[in-house]
Amino acid sequence: MGRNNKHKRGARNKRGPVRSERRPSLTGRVQLHEHSAYVITENGDYKVMGRGKREIMDGDTVAVSIKNSPHGERRAVIEGVVERAAISVVGTYQTAGPLGVIEPLDSRLKADFFILPEDTSADRLGVHPGDAVVARILTYPTRLESGAVTIERRIGGDDAPDLGVQYVMARYGYTDSYPEAALDEAEGLSLDVSAALKDPLRRDLRDRFVITIDPVDARDFDDAVSLERTPEGGYRLGVHIADVSHYVAWDGHIDLEARHRTTSVYLADRVLPMLPERLSNDLCSLRPDEDRLAFTVDIELDAQGRVRHYDPYPSVIRSRVRMDYDGAEALLVRAGAVEYSVLEGAAEDVAAAEASREEALERGLACEEAARGYNVDLGDFLVAANELAELRRRIRRARGSVDFDTAEIRALLDEDGVPVQIVARERSCATSLIEEAMLLANECVAEWLADRDIEACYRVHEDPSPDSLHGAAVALAQLGIIDDRRAAGIALGSPDELQAAVDAAAGTANAPLVNTLLLRSMQRALYKPRNEGHFALAAPCYCHFTSPIRRYPDLVVHRVLKLQLAYEQLGGKDALVRTPRLIGKGRESLPRILPQICRACSDAERAADAASHATQKIKIAQYYEDRLGERYAGTVSWVSSMGLFVRLDLTQVEGLVSIKSLGNEWFEFDEDALTLTGADTGTRYELGQRVIIEVSRVNTTRGHLDFKLIH
């Protein structure tokens, strides 16, 4: 009987499966484009077919089944939305009879949203037809119905200067405001060094020479360093981090909001801080010539840079000098420890760069003069720090660490938020010496915790998947950038071969391409309660400890570290007294909800990175808005079924040459070789190809640059 019924069910399925019966084979993330949509999965990227595009939004997690298109391409069919990425939409308000209508500014969205007749939000907020607004989504569009929204905020007319950034903020649910309860709690906090030093765990280090080195425009200083040479020829490094956990009690108003945000978000024209400014820019900021509470890790190293001993503890410090990276670099050049790179480009660009270096040297010399007041030669201090950084780099390389050589492309803005220049912020000796100190402190703290089997927010980077590595290796080998032996090593996941490929490309036109391909083959680092090591750093243990002002995982690490120190040095009774403030008690304590915190921090970090990148793209698009029709040289940096992505030589900015603009013929996309080949002419486009393009179209709201291929 059961067999017969089973047979009948199978026959019915064969005659014509309905949508609810089709089994989704994959889940992935939606990536919307102007005239198409893709689902990014672990098995590859698939173009969305059918009417499913109407019910999805960028960033949504969806369930899909895979089918072959008439052209033989494998396409994704949307079976359902697993998780929504957007909670609000930015659009233009219009009316249609009794209904209000929100027309999304994001032209990738194919459905309008309606405001129901009983909703009075437009009148209450003084919104008129044509105004740009932020609307909270009440129901999402389906294949048959539009979504419903309510207006939360009026942005202004379509000429609002920060409309694009506001769109990104609304898309990710970010706000400029901070809850009043948390702000009031922050205002009630104060620095009391005498009281803090009554804690037997805390040590007074105010007689130690400590400095901060940060970007010239930094406002919050959460890390500082001290350094001495030992009589044996080694080093005694002190890494001093703002003691945020002293001020932010578990489950307080500030903690709950910081736990919700999990990270500061750095947009092109503003910072959305994890903590109130009373903490991030005042009490916890390690400003020069002011006493501050810190969490210190003292690390003793031998003359080869190998760690001999380390000791974490709460402290009180007083930063003596506030340096910026360019000023520190200028002093290192002046001391003969490093050399500046050769300036190239237009005469006015070279002159401006030389003037900037002169200004940096002046700032460095001013810091050097201040250090003399403490009987410290700042030049010698920086030279020793640079030597130690180089030793640590060699040690990391020897154990299999991979350092990708990437540049952060960003727009410099004037006081009105208008982009005036595109710059690439690259790694320098000055940034490296701080980076190596922070990496080392993070490793030592993670090892300290892991050795005691303590759960915390560890930073875990898993090995890359063989399929991803194989694809990158094949593409680089076909381009002639690496030989077959190196390609085989990369495909097998050899860190030495990965680093060798990056090193060989450094300083050449292939460098951005090599770094992009290999980075895309890497897994994304995550936060997990247990230590599982870090592939890219080749570190057996790793966590984030050095930025608790802007990252919640660092604050978690500080809390569990401080509590364990109390257990070991003061006993269980003292530690028990500290427990409620540091990690809480009961069902909502840190140990009970740590897995959720780790997942939330991983997700929020990804969103913050995407939002930051999106706003930079908006400002970069604004920069090129006045340059339509101008032509530039560039290199094909990526190839997809959408077309060619071209990186410009002058600014390193990327734009898209759409496949439609290449001609009327059919182009075959080879996803292994990353090429597009014309079916009629045989014209072939590939990675690394040199081209001349013309800026043809700019969408400043979405931050898109469209190029036209000239040659």
pLDDT exceeds cutoff 80 at 503: yes
- Tell me whether residue 6 is in a domain: no
pLDDT at residue 28, as a whole number:
85
Angle between helices 253-261 and 590-625 (to 10 degrees): 60
Asked if 137 and 89 count as a contact pair (C-beta separation under 8 A), the reply is: yes
- Tell me whether residue 395 is in a domain: yes
pLDDT at residue 231, as a whole number:
94
Domain boundary among 66, 83, 100: 83
Residues 295, 199 share a domain: yes
Residues 353, 272 share a domain: yes
For residues 570 and 564, what is the distance between their CA atoms, to the nearest angstrom? Answer: 10
- Tell me whether residue 170 is in a domain: no
pLDDT exceeds cutoff 90 at 616: yes
For residues 227 and 370, what is the distance between their CA atoms, to the nearest angstrom? Answer: 17
Overall average pLDDT of the 624-635 stretch: 94
Task: Between 323 and 510, name the one with better pLDDT.
Answer: 323
Residue 458 phi, psi (nearest 5): -80, 150
Residues 284, 138 share a domain: no
pLDDT exceeds cutoff 50 at 7: no
Per-residue confidence band for 258, with pLDDT thresholds at 50, 70 and 90: very high
pLDDT at residue 73, as a whole number:
77
Residues 581, 676 share a domain: no
pLDDT at residue 604, as a whole number:
92
pLDDT exceeds cutoff 80 at 572: yes
Overall average pLDDT of the 569-578 stretch: 96
pLDDT at residue 158, as a whole number:
67
For residues 347 and 436, what is the distance between their CA atoms, to the nearest angstrom? Answer: 35
For residues 620 and 132, what is the distance between their CA atoms, to the nearest angstrom? Answer: 22
Overall average pLDDT of the 137-144 stretch: 87
For residues 62 and 56, what is the distance between their CA atoms, to the nearest angstrom? Answer: 8
Residues 426, 344 share a domain: yes
Per-residue confidence band for 15, with pLDDT thresholds at 50, 70 and 90: very low
Per-residue confidence band for 348, with pLDDT thresholds at 50, 70 and 90: low
Residues 246, 323 share a domain: yes
Residues 339, 422 share a domain: yes
Per-residue confidence band for 218, with pLDDT thresholds at 50, 70 and 90: confident
For residues 18 and 116, what is the distance between their CA atoms, to the nearest angstrom? Answer: 32
- Tell me whether residue 269 is in a domain: yes
- Closest to 430 in 3D by CA, of 286, 336, 503, 323: 323
Report how many domains make up the chain: 5
Overall average pLDDT of the 649-668 stretch: 91
pLDDT at residue 134, as a whole number:
87
pLDDT exceeds cutoff 50 at 126: yes
- Tell me whether residue 552 is in a domain: yes
Residues 95, 78 share a domain: no
- Tell me whether residue 607 is in a domain: yes
pLDDT exceeds cutoff 60 at 23: no
Residues 496, 431 share a domain: no
pLDDT at residue 638, as a whole number:
86
Q: Specify the residue for token string 């720090």.
A: 385
pLDDT exceeds cutoff 50 at 12: no
pLDDT exceeds cutoff 90 at 58: no
pLDDT exceeds cutoff 70 at 474: yes
Residue 500 phi, psi (nearest 5): -60, -40
Structural domain harbouring 36: 22-83
Query: What digits encode the pLDDT tens for the residues 310-323?
Result: 999 999 999 999 99
Record the pTM. 0.83
Residues 344, 412 share a domain: yes
Burial 497-520 (b: 16+ CB within 10 A, else e): bbbbbbeebeeeebbbbbbbbbee
Residues 386, 245 share a domain: yes
The domain that holds 113 is classified in CATH as 2.40.50.700
Residues in the chain: 711
Among 60-64, 72-76, 177-181, where is mean pLDDT lowest? 72-76
Among 16-25, 68-77, 222-231, 659-668, where is mean pLDDT lowest? 16-25
The domain that holds 631 is classified in CATH as 2.40.50.140
pLDDT at residue 5, as a whole number:
39
Task: Between 465 and 632, name the one with better pLDDT.
Answer: 632
pLDDT at residue 687, as a whole number:
85
- Arithmetic mean of pLDDT over the chain: 89
pLDDT exceeds cutoff 90 at 144: no
Task: Give percent of the chain with pLDDT exceeding 90.
Answer: 62
- Tell me whether residue 375 is in a domain: yes
Overall average pLDDT of the 370-398 stretch: 96
Among 112-116, 340-344, 479-483, 548-552, where is mean pLDDT lowest? 340-344
Domain boundary among 495, 522, 549: 522
pLDDT exceeds cutoff 70 at 166: yes
Overall average pLDDT of the 397-426 stretch: 87
Domain boundary among 83, 107, 124: 83
pLDDT exceeds cutoff 50 at 622: yes
Residues 643, 594 share a domain: no
Task: Between 385 and 220, name the one with better pLDDT.
Answer: 385
- Tell me whether residue 620 is in a domain: no
